[in-house]
Amino acid sequence: MSTDTSFAALGVPTSLVTVLDGLGITMPTPIQAATLPDSLAGRDVLGRGRTGSGKTYAFLLPLLTRLSQSGGRRQARRPRALILAPTRELVTQIDTAMAPLAKAFGLTSLTVFGGVGQNPQVNGLRAGVDVIVACPGRLEDLMQQGHVMLDAIEVTILDEADHMADLGFLPGVKRIMDKTPREGQRMLFSATLDGAINVLVKRYLTNPMTHEADSAQSPISTMSHHVLHVNADAHLPVILDLTAAPGRKIVFTRTKHRAKKLTKQLNASGVPAVELHGNLSQGARTRNMDDFHSGRAQTLVATDIAARGIHVDDVALVIHADPPVEHKAYLHRSGRTARAGHDGMVVTMMLDEQARDVRDLTRKAGIKPTTTRVQLGHPLLAELAPGERSYAGGLVREEAPAAPRNGSGRGRSQRSGGNAGAGSARGRGRGAGASRQGAAAQGGPARGTRSGGRSRSGQGSEGQGAAARSGGGRRGGSSTVYSTTSGSSAASFSAGTRSGTRRAAR
């Protein structure tokens, strides 16, 4: 009996194996090796694997292979395959992962989610597309308006099905699934298989082949778990010390307000950070994630919206600034690190009054963390996040000037797109000047603030254009632009931000 578990041996076409090789993906993960023979053969598949286990390629490879071999053709408003996912970030990342694979077969894809204007999505559907990657809410909207029909769907994928259940999407998912052909292939992937998922399985999958590559609660072997017991006055300084170390970090908070506040505090202290939570427009979320992916910001402060949908390579450290409410959230948050066999570190901040909750949380999650009482300067901090601490400059949040009420300024901004028009340049100049004045008044480095603001101005203009196109600037509202400060301090950050905001609002 052959023990060869390469992609080629499992039945993946040579053209896709070549693309995977170019991406540095040479051997299947356990969930991929378990499911690919059945999914490539056209069987319905129920796959469970923890976050970071490789589920995305486990369904992309058979989906694209099946479409390339079926002989079907693209039709207006009738996609050939559907991938449902719970968050915009996950939709985008699935589509990004699919792009080079789909290109090998000449297949096309389209993302469908809310928070942006629907016209580009409507136009894409009208032109004809092979695969749509969608969030349930916007897809249902387009279906009800007659812009998309699912009667030609050959393959349907439900990704992160348990998270869709947690978010209350199951009624919409059922309505969508009811519109897909019963004879089509269906695959459901999830980190857990509980009662809510079983409802979907029984209703929509036909004799599914079930594969569980690992235990839902098993700790990842390459992930280390620590609980840092701190006093209230040491909570922020310890987080600041950890995030000032080299490498990408994700810090999780329980609330959107807390994520925004902590992001400001980190930037004020010279640690570049961006936020991700439900109060941000789609344009802001995209810009912040671009900054995190590029390394311009090495720390992402997020609520649980990001626990399932963020797939970023080389996240060395996950910090639970606020311990999550339940153990599944802990596992999904922590799964942002130690991905694809890499090492990872998970740190949970714990105050005195949280000790019992954290103990129960980790017990239910099936882990045994190392608990240490620490304060700033404790040698363990350097072990958890090695490297020289840098407080060279945060990302200053500046409010871009609102569009004139008569609409003429808005028209110029939209036409120019990424190029700064005269009006917007003057607005940025006033904001930058106010920021310099604020920094100087507090003894901050005016020159560093000015050069940082100028280096980001082009990107800020593009961000405004994107916000206007997506509906964020439709009513003359202001968008947030980040500019880098060098050698910043808490005083210069806060003063500069307040001055810039007041000037822009006039």
> Quick one: 190 and 51 in the same domain?
yes
**What interhelical angle do 256-268 and 490-505 show, nearest 10?**
120
Rounded-to-integer distance, Cα 438 and Cα 500, Å: 8
For residue 337, pLDDT over 70 is answered with no
The listed range with the strongest mean pLDDT (6-15, 41-50, 486-495) is: 6-15
Asked whether residue 491 is assigned to any structural domain, the reply reads: yes
Asked whether residue 2 is assigned to any structural domain, the reply reads: no
For residue 320, pLDDT over 90 is answered with yes
Enter the pTM of the model. 0.56
Q: Which DSSP helix (H) or strand (E) runs through 248? A: strand 248-252
Asked whether residue 374 is assigned to any structural domain, the reply reads: yes
Asked whether residue 90 is assigned to any structural domain, the reply reads: yes
Task: Provide the number of structural domains found in the chain.
Answer: 3
Residue pair 248/474 in contact by the 8 Å Cβ criterion:
no
For residue 211, pLDDT over 70 is answered with yes
> Quick one: 313 and 410 in the same domain?
no
> Quick one: 282 and 144 in the same domain?
no
- pLDDT at residue number 163: 80
Asked whether residue 473 is assigned to any structural domain, the reply reads: no
For residue 42, pLDDT over 80 is answered with yes
Question: At 228, phi and psi to the nearest 5?
Answer: -100, 110
Q: Which of 221, 199, 218 has the alpha carbon at shortest distance from 46?
A: 199
Final residue of a structural domain among 365, 384, 403: 384
> Quick one: 136 and 233 in the same domain?
no
For residue 422, pLDDT over 50 is answered with no
For the ranges 2-16, 130-144, 175-189, 251-265, which has the lowest average pLDDT?
A: 2-16
Final residue of a structural domain among 355, 384, 413: 384
Place of tokens 């050959």: 154
Rounded-to-integer distance, Cα 84 and Cα 82, Å: 6
Asked whether residue 451 is assigned to any structural domain, the reply reads: yes
- pLDDT at residue number 312: 65
Q: Which residue has the higher pLDDT, 446 or 106?
A: 106
> Quick one: 158 and 263 in the same domain?
no
Asked whether residue 390 is assigned to any structural domain, the reply reads: no
Q: Which residue has the higher pLDDT, 454 or 118?
A: 118
**What interhelical angle do 355-365 and 327-334 show, nearest 10?**
70
Residue pair 303/253 in contact by the 8 Å Cβ criterion:
yes
Band (pLDDT 50/70/90 cuts) for residue 321 is very high
> Quick one: 439 and 291 in the same domain?
no
- pLDDT at residue number 306: 58
> Quick one: 202 and 243 in the same domain?
no
The pair of three-digit structure tokens given for residue 71, joined into one six-digit string: 């002989």
Q: Kindly list the strands in the beta sheet with 81-84, ordered across the sheet, starting from the edge strand earlier in the chain.
A: 109-112, 131-134, 81-84, 155-158, 185-190, 45-48, 209-212
Place of tokens 């992001």: 263
> Quick one: 364 and 405 in the same domain?
no
For residue 427, pLDDT over 80 is answered with no
> Quick one: 291 and 326 in the same domain?
yes
For residue 416, pLDDT over 80 is answered with no
Q: Which of 163, 115, 166, 164 has the alpha carbon at shortest distance from 141?
A: 115
Parent domain of 16:
7-212
Residue 506 Cα to chain centre, angstroms: 35
